[in-house]
Chains A and B, each alone.
Chain A
């Protein structure tokens, strides 16, 4: 009996297959990436209009504005990542596949992380030009914050996007749930970015990065454990 049963697909295989599928869809349409890039660029631009042409103020707050632009864009990206599955009952199709439901979480969260990291990498030169900042410590540090920050927005964001994509008024619900939750991540990412841009005389960079790392550990763990309960039917 058990010999004839097909071998269950491993978590990693399923995750990579799903991630590949999502990236392929993204690459063929490029709709999501284009939308969030222009949205984030417009947001960065809007901060300068909201404050007036005070370059000192913009320079001082650049780290915060940078992460707010990514956060706002992430709401669009996260919402869209499950909207793809709601068409033609794709979600049911994935659920019926003999794969671990947690693979859906991992692939979606990793896909969103990739998207947000790419967005952030594109935004850095724009921020440097627009706000007149320069990278004082090192680009590697900034890359590390970008990766950890994108991971931190993606894990809880994926869980909440899966919930809100099936609820009424999903466009309101996702930011309402996500924003209070990611405050620690936003705070540490913005602080660490500011340290990269303005120098770190007190050597605080490591502790903010540690906080971001801890946030990631907790929410990737919680998301991994709880996600199957969200998509069960």
Chain B
């Protein structure tokens, strides 16, 4: 199992992703109106999907942590928020690149875009909080609370911004696109999903090892990770 996660999973992910992108970029037909520009969809849409998966994992483990405290759940929360933020940001950038030739602008205050921008700021705040609290137990509890409140807020944001302003095309589903496009999109999405799982597992292991080190031996951590003052004084006691 360990060997599969270390070598097999990334190899599988890259192979599926390469196949999906080859299908999307070379094999699937170009869009009737947008032409070849639309092919960025095979990158943009999977990125957004897996970012949502990561954020959903974060929400679930945050609730789980408050019900039953465990370092494993806390490490999963840290890994999923970080990876979700990176993938979501990449999704947003590819969206802006797609928006420029098709809408004429990189950015619009459309509900979907606005909500995602707010989501990215919310999870940036979450990760900043994690950095600024030294006590691992307090950090885990507080960040779980912040994750839950932040996630609850996203539907409200979506709703309020839709009232506030209503250019994003209806999201692509298999029904709205050509079957060849669907296949390419599905394969790309699975490739991205496998890659995300691999990222998650790697980051989870790191986070868990860090937690265990913090709990076992607070002073053994490098100085930028250990407390800036408070906890370090325990060396004296």
Bound-state Cα–Cα, A177 to B148, Å: 12
Q: Which stretch, A45-53, A111-119, A126-134, A166-174, touches the partner chain B?
A: A166-174
Interface residues in B100-114 (C-beta closer than 8 Å to A): none
Complex: A9 Cα to B133 Cα, angstroms: 33
Contact mask A202-233 → B, CB, 8 Å, 1/0?
00000100010011001100100010011010
Provide the bound-state CA to CA distance between A215 and B150, in Å: 13
Contacts of B126 in A (CB 8 A): 177
Q: Does B232 contact A (CB under 8 A)?
A: no
A211 contacts which of B133, B145, B160 (Cβ < 8 Å)? B160
| A102 interface residue per 8 A CB criterion | no
B156 adjacent to A222 (CB under 8 Å): no
CA distance A146 to B160 in the complex (A): 18
Which stretch, A10-18, A22-30, A74-82, A178-186, touches the partner chain B? A178-186
Contact partners of B149 in chain A: CB under 8 A = 156, 159, 181, 219, 222, 226
A181 and B142 in contact, given A168-B134, A211-B163, A226-B149 (Cβ under 8 angstroms): no
CA gap between A167 and B153 in the complex, in Å? 23
Closest residue of B by beta carbon distance from A214? B156
Chain A residues contacting B129 (CB-CB under 8 Å) are: 163-164, 167, 173, 177
> How far apart sit A177 and B121, CA to CA, in the bound complex (Å)?
8
- A123 lies within 8 A of chain B by Cβ: no
> Size of chain B's interface in residues, with CB distance under 8 A?
30
A218 contacts B132, C-beta separation under 8 Å = no
B125 touches A222 (CB 8 A): no
Q: Is A108 an interface residue (CB 8 A)?
A: no
The total of interchain contacts (Cβ-Cβ below 8 angstroms) comes to 81
For the complex, what is the distance from the CA of A219 to the CA of B149, rounded to whole Å?
8
B153 contacts A168, C-beta separation under 8 Å: no
CA–CA, A207 and B149, complex, Å: 23
B interface, over-half SS: helix
8 Å CB contact of B146 from A177, A183, A191, A215: A177
Interface core residue of B121, B124, B145 (most chain A CB under 10 Å): B145
B132 touches A169 (CB 8 A): yes
Once the chains bind, are B146 and A163 in contact (CB under 8 Å)? yes
Bin chain A's interface residue count.
Answer: 20 to 34
CB-CB under 8 A from A219, the residues of chain B are 149
A176 lies within 8 A of chain B by Cβ: yes
A167 to B141, CA, bound (A): 13
Contact A226 B145 (CB under 8 A): yes
Smallest CB separation, B93 vs chain A (Å): 19
Instruction: Provide the bound-state CA to CA distance between A183 and B125, in Å.
Output: 14
Does B220 reach chain A (CB closer than 8 Å)? no
B11 located at the interface, meaning its Cβ lies under 8 Å from any Cβ of chain A in the complex: no
Q: Are B118 and A180 in contact (CB under 8 A)?
A: yes
Given the interface pairs A184-B160, A215-B156, the reply to whether A167 lies near B132 with Cβ below 8 Å is yes
Task: Please give, as numbers and ranges, the residues of chain A lying within 8 Å of B183 by CB-CB distance.
Answer: none
**Chain A residues in 8 Å Cβ range of B156:** 184, 214-215, 218
> Which residues on B are within 8 Å of A, measured CB to CB?
66, 118, 121-122, 124-126, 128-129, 132-134, 138, 141-142, 145-146, 148-150, 152-153, 156-157, 159-161, 163-164, 228
